[in-house]
Amino acid sequence: MKHRKRAIAGLALASLLGATAAAAADPGVSPASVDEALDPGESITITKTVTTPEVPPKPDIVLLVDHTGSMGIAIDNVKANMADIITAVETAQPDAQFAVAIYCDIGEPVPPYEVIQDLTDDAATAVAAVDGITLCNGGDEPEAQLPALYALGDGGGEISYRADSSRVVAWFGDAPGHDPRLDITEADATQSLVDAGVKTLAISVGFDGLDATGQATRITAATGGSFFSGVGADAVADAILDGLTNLPVEVAGSPTCDEGLSVELDPASQVVTSGDDAVFEETVTVAADAPQGTTLTCEVDFTIDGQDAGPAFTQTISVDVNDVTPPTVSCEQGPNPAGMILPEESEAGFFRMVAEDNVDDSVEITVSDTGSDAEFGPYASGTTFKLTQAPGAKPRVTAFTGEVEWHFRLKGDAELSATDEAGNTGTALCEVPPHD
């Protein structure tokens, strides 16, 4: 994958330092929290923006250097700026680690490749390793980068990568590699890097010698990295930092939700350039059978290349499930003053008013006269009463006797209604024949 151009020629390392520090100030997910009230079965869609860090989280960065004779100016450029590169990366990701490896070719008085410094979080140690690089001859044009790349991946196992780290090999040189070399082919080197989850940043110094056979573009594409072509020897440090802050990264969200609440992201994941925004349409859905009157929550952890990116990339969702079910109201046969339940056919008018709600522990009942605008109450569920329909009388309620608490004399029937705290209302009708 080609890198996003940032005009390497003449690029000042100091300006990149400032840009990296500024961009690193606000990576994370926005909005970071969602608080909504939804009905059962209802959904809401939110545009979710994940601003990726300029440098992927927990970076393990290996500098791989062609140290043959033609690379002197390029290596000196990196030596002069290595401390600034480390500072810029650590500004974005304070837990960054660096390693240094070199390669030449076979038939030299030096090893064809060598890890001269394993991963370290000590900047001075990494700088000293770079400062100690000396030049070798290299012999013919192609070099021994393929066994070096193999060694930096899973096959060679010569780098102590941390678990869950973002792994990058920043490789610069000016000549292609022998294929095979030391029995290592391009396919072997590529697979070793892929198996270790290492992205390759390749910088071709001068013309396109590093990619003369297409090796560099193929390896960077296969590992999800970036290729820089035609970089001047005095601009290699700028290109390294530019590359480290322009890596393709995959952003994905992983929801963990209470039962009854779900989250879907569209797309499920996407690849952007580090430092850019990944935008998702996030649909939050309450199940039709979700418990009403409760609060359900989700956490959505957004990862960068599958790695934990830190607290700023965790989104919280809180949904109050609306109570949409009215109370159940009933007019049951009640006791007469002596406590006896008379048959409904007796039309004696003894009732018990009952109301239950799916959320509220108790709801009160109001009694309305269907023959007038009179209204009485509220009364507790379970209240017993005598109902008399007297069309010519003034509606009124009086205390009764024995097991019967109240006597309602209404012009019509009695409509019982109960309203819960969410405003849902249930009703029932108590009917008796009219009396003179």
Distance CA 354, CA 367 (A): 12
Same domain, 187 and 157: yes
Same domain, 305 and 380: no
Residue 22 has pLDDT above 80, yes or no: no
pLDDT reported for residue 4:
36
Distance CA 184, CA 190 (A): 10
> Is 5 part of any domain?
no
Q: At which of 212, 244, 276 does a domain end?
A: 244
- CA 298, 197, 100 angle in degrees (round to 5)? 125
Same domain, 182 and 228: yes
Tally of domains in the chain: 3
Q: Which amino acid is at 325?
A: T
Q: At which of 299, 321, 343 does a domain end?
A: 321
Structural domain of residue 102, as residue ranges? 55-244
Instruction: Judge contact between 327 and 426, C-beta under 8 A.
Output: yes
C-alpha distances in Å from residue 350, one per residue of 26, 382, 396, 402? 70, 13, 16, 12
pLDDT in tens, 42-93: 999 999 999 999 999 999 999 999 999 999 999 999 999 999 999 999 999 9
312 — phi, psi (to 5°)?
A: -65, -15
Residue 10 has pLDDT above 60, yes or no: no
pLDDT, mean of residues 15-19: 46
> Is 421 part of any domain?
yes
pLDDT reported for residue 151:
98
Same domain, 185 and 212: yes
pLDDT, mean of residues 2-11: 36
> Is 369 part of any domain?
yes
Same domain, 209 and 63: yes
pLDDT, mean of residues 286-304: 97
- CATH classification at residue 286: 2.60.40.2310
pLDDT reported for residue 138:
74
Same domain, 79 and 49: no
Beta carbons within 8 Å of 345's beta carbon, 6+ residues apart: none
Q: Model pTM?
A: 0.81
Residue 255 has pLDDT above 70, yes or no: yes
Same domain, 94 and 133: yes
pLDDT reported for residue 16:
46
* DSSP line for 152-197: HSTTT--S-PPTT-EEEEEEEESS-B-SSBTTB-HHHHHHHHHHTT
> Is 72 part of any domain?
yes
Same domain, 117 and 227: yes
> Is 8 part of any domain?
no
pLDDT in tens, 97-118: 999 999 999 988 899 999 999 9
Q: Which amino acid is at 336?
A: N
Distance CA 321, CA 425 (A): 18
Find tokens 């390793």 and name the residue: 129
Same domain, 115 and 153: yes
Residue 23 has pLDDT above 70, yes or no: no
Same domain, 288 and 339: no
Of 2 and 170, the one with more pLDDT: 170
Beta carbons within 8 Å of 224's beta carbon, 6+ residues apart: 1, 199, 248, 250
- CATH classification at residue 102: 3.40.50.410
Of 184 and 6, the one with more pLDDT: 184
Kindly state the percentage of the chain with pLDDT values over 90.
89
Beta carbons within 8 Å of 34's beta carbon, 6+ residues apart: 46, 284, 315, 316, 317, 318, 319
Distance CA 277, CA 221 (A): 22
Residue 14 has pLDDT above 60, yes or no: no
pLDDT, averaged across the chain: 93
pLDDT reported for residue 383:
98
> Is 21 part of any domain?
no
Instruction: Judge contact between 54 and 279, C-beta under 8 A.
Output: no
Token pair in block for residue 335:
């006791």
Report the half-sphere exposure of 397 (CA within 13 A, side-chain side): 19
pLDDT band at 1 (very low <50, low <70, confident <90, very high): very low
Residue 11 has pLDDT above 80, yes or no: no
Length reported for the chain: 436
Q: At which of 223, 244, 265 does a domain end?
A: 244
- Rounded CA Rg of the chain: 38
> Is 1 part of any domain?
no
> Is 309 part of any domain?
yes
Same domain, 315 and 392: no
pLDDT in tens, 256-272: 999 999 999 999 999 99
Same domain, 363 and 273: no
